[in-house]
Amino acid sequence: MNFEPSNFIEDIIVKDLESGKHNLIYTRFPPEPNGYLHVGHSKSLCINFGIKEKFHGKCNLRFDDTNPTKEDVEYVESIKEDIKWLGFEWDKELYASDYFEQTYDFAVKLIEKGVAYVCDYNADQIRETRGTLKEPGQESPYRNRSVEENLRLFREMREGKYADGSKVLRAKIDMASPNMNMRDPVIYRILRAHHHRTGDKWCVYPMYDFAHPLGDALDGVTHSICTLEFEDHRPLYDWVCEQCEFENPPRQIEFARLNIKNTIMSKRYLKKLVENGNVDGWNDPRMPTLSGMRERGYPAPAVKEFCARVGVAKANGEVDPALLEFCVREYLNANADRAMVVEKPLKVVIDNMADDEEQLFSVVDNPNNENSGTHNVVLTKEIYIEETDFALVPPPKYKRLVEGGMIRLKGSYILKHVSTELDENGAPKLLHCEYIEDSAQGGVNAGIKVKGVVQWVSANKCVDCELYKYESLLVDATDEVTDFNDRLNPNSLEVVKGAKGELYLDEGEVGKSYQFMRVAYYKYAGKKDGVSRFYRIVSLKDTFNK
Ligand code: ATP
Ligand code: MG
């Protein structure tokens, strides 16, 4: 096999394949089912499943469900759906809780080896005796209990003889270790909590640092890829694998988390937004969750492309959200059909058309796609153009319609302004225009020079639309205001009612995305009371500075 590595993790993998250390590369994605996946997780997904795909290996989905009070099946289901949406396929669906019995047996084994003991300290006492980065910790007075006593106490912990938090099982490593994680870390705790899979069977639960390496090793994972904050846990990870005597233990490799400027990347805080009603659930289109991005209309390939462009690094950094938008825009530009929508309609009467006259113009669905089809737009005597595409008093360099001026209707004729009707405030209420015969594409008058091209919609053959415009959930952090709670953007959603769209919009299924020409990319979100709702996916303008 000859694989070109594209980052430091793949370098390691290629070496392990070449040296014959491994023949099959095995990774896993290990979410805790305590919330929905966010865009940060997509990076981990792309790394782990990307390695599976590139090196023809395997990748499991393993739920790290060792924290029963925070976890729920709702999250399990959402996580599976989100991974499928990204187009990844896991080999096995596993749960840390499936190994509770084996995990318990390994803990017994450690006790028997004399490297684990039951400690009667409570959480405060453990913290207080842990020492600091400068000072060693103090050994627990329970540290030298006999193997027999430890075995009995641990069994009794499992049997429910002791109150929650009154005893723990600790690894007996080194209270003077410069690495705090090695100072006799807790590996089992007593907790009477209902577990979403094991019910009330257990009242002792393993700690993540114990369950995680065991899960990896038992599953045959070769490379256990995690984020940088686990770097200091690696010695403990290796200690567990060694003490449990795994022959070819997994290797933990850390990479930098994905951080996006102005974007919340913590399930805990995202959950708060949901609970406080700041958003309409985990899949609110403003949420940086995978389900939110899907609801918003972000295409899965764009999210993956974003992860690829961010790359895999060993140092933490912050990515500009404009890069994600750039990827979304790039994908939609190539894949979204064009449609005409007028946000703030201004009525135009075409005086030289008959009342019931209809003229059809064929337009290409997506000029950026070679295989694109066509659809018709219908021109009638009354149409709408965008309010801002006409000016009574044009500002300098104005390129649209003015009194007595001409403009091209996108995909159709050139229109010539005749007269303006004003409302009581003196604002244009209605325009009278004439179309210029034979000025459509291919016509003898098509070459007449006009200042601009505008979108338009037939006034009686159109779709009533409501546009949901999203802005960032957070306003920019300043030195004084860094707390998320104080940075919530009160204008993160604006709903524009009364927009009009061409009939083609009624043909698409819910979820289809469009480029509303000269407006933005929008996703069709369904009809309510006869009005079609569209979510703004991303603006047309690129703010990303390559
Ligand atoms: P959160 O802090 O949001 O709860 P987490 O790290 O606790 O995130 P897990 O469910 O434990 O969430 O994460 C599953 C996997 O996704 C882990 O391997 C974790 O390292 C990775 N991951 C989580 N957040 C990010 C991120 N921002 N960038 C890259 N990988 C991430
Ligand atoms: Mg976590």
| Residue 437 sits in the same domain as residue 300 | no
| Residue 282 sits in the same domain as residue 412 | no
10-residue averages of pLDDT along the chain (546 residues): 85 96 97 97 97 97 94 95 98 96 98 98 97 96 98 98 98 98 98 95 97 97 97 98 96 96 92 94 98 98 97 88 96 97 98 97 93 96 97 94 96 97 96 97 92 96 98 80 81 97 97 97 97 97 64
Identify the pLDDT of residue 451.
85
Given 335, 360, 382, the domain boundary residue is 335
434-453 pLDDT, tens digit per residue, is 999 999 999 999 999 998 99
| Residue 327 sits in the same domain as residue 431 | no
Identify the pLDDT of residue 453.
96
User: Could you tell me if residue 355 is inside a domain?
Assistant: yes
| Residue 405 sits in the same domain as residue 278 | no
Identify the pLDDT of residue 346.
98
Identify the pLDDT of residue 541.
85
Ligand 1 within 6 A of CB of 30? yes
Instruction: Classify residue 229 by its DSSP letter.
Output: G
Identify the pLDDT of residue 315.
83
Ligand 1 within 6 A of CB of 212? no
Query: Is 222 exposed, middle or buried, given 0-12, 13-18 or 19+ CB atoms closer than 10 A?
Result: buried
Ligand 2 (ion): residues with CB under 5 Å are 32
Given 335, 355, 382, the domain boundary residue is 335
Any idea what the CATH number is for the domain that residue 329 is in? 1.10.1160.10
| Residue 518 sits in the same domain as residue 476 | yes
Identify the pLDDT of residue 3.
80
Identify the pLDDT of residue 523.
98
| Residue 328 sits in the same domain as residue 468 | no
User: Could you tell me if residue 466 is inside a domain?
Assistant: yes
Residue 404 CA to residue 16 CA, distance in Å, equals 75
Residue 275 CA to residue 225 CA, distance in Å, equals 31
Give the residue numbers annotated as catalytic, written as ranges.
32, 257, 267
User: Could you tell me if residue 362 is inside a domain?
Assistant: yes
Identify the pLDDT of residue 11.
96
| Residue 447 sits in the same domain as residue 397 | yes
User: Could you tell me if residue 230 is inside a domain?
Assistant: no
User: Could you tell me if residue 78 is inside a domain?
Assistant: no
Helix locations, 244-299, DSSP H: 267-275, 290-296
Ligand 1 within 6 A of CB of 316? no
User: Could you tell me if residue 39 is inside a domain?
Assistant: no
Determine which helix (DSSP H) or strand (DSSP E) holds 377, and give its type and residue range.
strand 374-379
Identify the pLDDT of residue 205.
97
User: Could you tell me if residue 518 is inside a domain?
Assistant: yes
User: Could you tell me if residue 341 is inside a domain?
Assistant: yes
Identify the pLDDT of residue 545.
57
| Residue 419 sits in the same domain as residue 408 | yes
523 CA → ligand 1 middle, Å: 29
Ligand 1 within 6 A of CB of 31? yes
Any idea what the CATH number is for the domain that residue 526 is in? 2.40.240.10
Which structural domain range is residue 442 located in? 337-539
| Residue 412 sits in the same domain as residue 525 | yes
pTM of the predicted protein model: 0.94
| Residue 404 sits in the same domain as residue 464 | yes
Given 335, 357, 382, the domain boundary residue is 335
Number of domains in the chain: 2
Q: Whose CA is nearest to atom 29 of ligand 1?
A: 257
- Name the residue of 80, 207, 227, 304 whose CB sits within 8 Å of the most ligand 1 atoms, as the mutation to test its pocket: 227
Instruction: Classify residue 492 by its DSSP letter.
Output: S
Q: Whose CA is nearest to atom 9 of ligand 1?
A: 31
| Residue 430 sits in the same domain as residue 463 | yes
Identify the pLDDT of residue 237.
98
Ligand 1 within 6 A of CB of 258? yes
210 CA → ligand 2 middle, Å: 14
Ligand 1 within 6 A of CB of 288? no
106 by DSSP, 3-state: which?
Answer: helix
Are residues 290 and 39 in contact, defined by beta-carbon separation less than 8 angstroms? yes
Are residues 150 and 119 in contact, defined by beta-carbon separation less than 8 angstroms? no
| Residue 344 sits in the same domain as residue 492 | yes
